[in-house]
Chains A and B, each alone.
Chain A
Amino acid sequence: MKTLPAALAIAAKDLRLFFRDRTGMALGFLLPLVLVGVFGFVMKIANGPTGGYSRASLWVVDLDRSEASRRFVAALREAETIDVRPAADAPPVDEASVRRELEDGEIHHALLVPSGFGAAIEKKELPQLRMLRDPDRAMEEQLISIGLMQAAIGALGPDFSEAFTTRMLEQAGLPKEWRERTTALTRVFAGGVRALFEEKEVAEQKGDAAGGATPAGTKDGAKDGAKPAFSMGDFLGQLVPVTHEEFRPPARPKQLSWTLAHTVSGIGVMMLMFGLMACATQLLREREEGVLPRLLLSPADRGAILWGKYLFALVIGALQLALLFAFGAVVFQVEVLRDPAAFLVVSAVVLLAVTAFGMLIAAWARTSKQAEGLSTLLILVMSALGGAWFPLQLFKDRLPAPVTWLMKATLTDWAIRSYQALFWDAKGLGDRSLLTNLAVLLGFTVAATALARRLFQKRYVETSGAP
């Protein structure tokens, strides 16, 4: 037989085999579609619908309650990089409650607009703001600085350009005399620019401006022109006078960043799921290789077969976790053994939940192809939605309600939250939110195990080990 006919015959046979397992085939095709969908959605949330800035949540407490402070808060809501909380139509929050939430690690930035804000504005002075923050959330810090500056310029308007200039020069370290000279020059320049604007406005009102190029300095041009400056988030952030009060668990290692701790937890949990799926599908391989009937014929309780696989997966999973977190501790300084008992309990619960998940898939699937397809699909989607690849938790306040529920339906989210509570928030087993996370994971374990047992009985024992 020549090469081509033989190759065609082999390809035709393989295609026939591939399409014969319809569930496995459907899962294989579904996987890329679901992944593209989930990732597109995650990126949309992360970068905004137009692909621009990400947004960070900023809780705002208006202690001044003046017209000026309300205008400032409204300008904050317009800023491109901030999601102001509570929402405009929600009841306001007080200082004590945001402090509590900060201490619990539930929120990470809160801006206090102090009493006297409006009075300072009236006196043409830059008002002093107070930021309560977790200092290790650098990514959100940048976004908030940019948004704060954007809002300050928007709310205080051109009357404060001189004040901003003075503060900028002061930040740049210019002596007082030079600052005054530069400010005087700026004042003259600003007067000239203002005259040009007024002239243009008059021209527009007369309808003469139609069809012409938009000179820099029109409303849109100003917005576009301002964008490059916003990339200097740190510098610009300093233009708005803000005093900082920091909320940081003392036990948190200084060199650890939130995203690093999150990544170690997230990737650790995802790889654990992949590893344990490989263990769980051994049940299917034994069935396909014909060994399972001999196990079912042994005098031992048939449930022991499933429990044996559980134990095997738990041991392998424990080794995997130990290796992953040892690597995280050595290479990235994640302090995994800060609270050894809590770490062991969290890891044991995560292991149980992930193993139960693997067993459920193995008990459900009729072929190893089906198990591989479904598990890959679920693990990748859970990892994406649960924040293992991209920290969606950063944007949890902005997620639509259905997505939040989907996120909470993933093992990954609860597992990452539990580890983050240990590594980042430096909480222990006495913490209520950590206990809630663990209770959810244990609840999943019990439900998944019960279902896996039932499916095992139905699909393995009652069918005599035949697929």
Chain B
Amino acid sequence: MSEAAEELLAVDALEFRYGERVAVAGATFSIRRGECFGLLGPNGAGKSTTIRCIAGLAPPHGGALRFSGGPFFPFERGDDRRRAGTVPQELALYGELTARENLAFFGRMSGLAGAPLRDAIARGLALAGLADRADDRVKSFSGGMKRRLNLAAGDLHDPELLLLDEPTAGVDPQSRNHLFESLGALKAAGKTLLYTTHYMEEAQRLCERVAIMDDGRVLAVGKPAELATAAGLPGADLEALFLHLTGKRLRDA
């Protein structure tokens, strides 16, 4: 199978502005079906905005998105939004509802009902490792449990592409490990993942390919080892490559 045939999502010269400020300036990359693709960059690089455009929260001001080779307008079209699931940085859950009730609600919002909804909830609870706490209110959960449920809610309708915006922020090593295992299971099941993180070792562990962004532009796209070689740093780890490409200047000072 050729690389073009494997392409699931193509981001082509994507642009987005907040008023006069350019957040994404012609970002171009593509994600292959079944891979975990890392979108890396310092704070303010444009990663989250790129994910918002792909998820359908913000309409791009320029460029184009393609999904499975066809035009993709997630901001405008509900059916396009259904193809991607999002795990936001914030814990987007209702504390007063139980884990099961949260999943049921988000499942219904995704168009699930009846037996498919019940199956999805069971799958989500298992993914989050919360089957035995299914009927407890979310406000009684630890940060790690909420993060896991947050992931399960994003994957509930079994989307082809899962967008993960710093899903491990603020969790303990055990929960992080559980999240990695969950993501590994999703990948093994053929799910395509777009993963943003500040933790280079996470990207190194999970992602086959990465794109490194800075100032709204994509500086490099490819496998970490190939990128390191191309940058004249053969054998360097992802963190060294990242600092080499983006520099050591603080971006949010």
Contacts and interface: CB of A to CB of B under 8 A. Distances in A.
Interface of A: 290-291, 293-301, 462, 464-465
21 contacts: A290-B90, A290-B92, A291-B92, A293-B88, A293-B90, A293-B92, A294-B86, A294-B88, A294-B92, A294-B153, A295-B109, A297-B57, A297-B86, A298-B81, A298-B106, A298-B109, A298-B110, A299-B109, A299-B111, A299-B157, A301-B78
Contacts of A464: 52, 57-58
Contacts of A465: 57
B11 to A, nearest CB: 18
Interface in B165-212: none
A300 B55 CA distance: 14
Interface string B50-79: 001001111100000000000000000011
B52 A290 contact: no
A290 B153 contact: no
A464 B16 CA distance: 13
Interface of B: 52, 55-59, 78-79, 81-82, 86, 88, 90-94, 106, 109-111, 153, 157
Contacts of A299: 78-79, 81-82, 109-111, 157
A296 B78 contact: no
A290 B111 CA distance: 21
Nearest to B81: A299
A301 B109 CA distance: 10
B78 A300 contact: yes
B18 to A, nearest CB: 10
Contacts of B106: 294, 298
A301 B111 CA distance: 11
Contacts of B86: 294, 297
B165 to A, nearest CB: 10
Given A290-B88, A291-B93, A296 B110 contact: no
Given A291-B94, A297-B56, 18 more contacts: A290-B92, A291-B92, A291-B93, A294-B92, A294-B106, A296-B57, A297-B55, A297-B81, A298-B81, A298-B106, A298-B110, A299-B78, A299-B79, A299-B81, A299-B157, A301-B78, A464-B52, A465-B57
A465 B75 CA distance: 13
Contacts of A293: 57, 88, 90, 92
A307 to B, nearest CB: 13
Contacts of B59: 462
A290 B93 CA distance: 8
B59, B90, B92 — which one has the most chain A CB atoms within 10 A of its CB? Answer: B92
Contacts of A291: 92-94
A296 B57 CA distance: 7
A459 B82 CA distance: 23
B220 to A, nearest CB: 28
A301 B56 CA distance: 12
Contacts of B81: 297-299
Contacts of B92: 290-291, 293-294
A395 B62 CA distance: 62
Q: Report the 7 A-B pairs with minimum CB-CB distance, sorted nearest first.
A: A290-B90, A298-B109, A294-B92, A464-B57, A299-B82, A299-B78, A291-B92
A298 B112 CA distance: 11
